[in-house]
Amino acid sequence: MGDVEDPDLYAAQPLWEWQSSEMGKFVMAKSVQTPMWHRNSNPNQYHIDYCVQAWLQGADYTYWVLKWADSVDNNNTR
């Protein structure tokens, strides 16, 4: 996300779309705690990254890795 007045407002739609996707519905249903989103700003690159953190148990995590791990940035999934 680039330099905008309210980055959370601009991130809301993609976060909602992810939550409504097959992966998002799975994570929301199987997470041990309620998933949270985090904002990370990088002042050197003038952008903000958003990530969703969830806690999955054994078999659910294994299922997620087998089905979706290749479709996301692997640096932020483990």
Structure tokens at 59: 């078999």
- Containing domain of residue 37, as a range? 7-71
Residue 74 — pLDDT band, cuts 50, 70, 90?
low
Give a yes or no: residue 55 inside a domain: yes
Give a yes or no: residue 20 inside a domain: yes
- β-strand partners of 40: 49
Angle between helices 7-20 and 22-30 (to 10 degrees): 90
Residue 72 — pLDDT band, cuts 50, 70, 90?
confident
Number of domains in the chain: 1
Give a yes or no: residue 13 inside a domain: yes
Specify the pTM. Answer: 0.75
pLDDT, mean over the chain: 86
Q: Tens digits of per-residue pLDDT, 28-68?
A: 999 999 999 998 887 787 788 888 999 999 999 999 999 99
Give a yes or no: residue 21 inside a domain: yes
Structure tokens at 42: 């990088």
Give a yes or no: residue 2 inside a domain: no
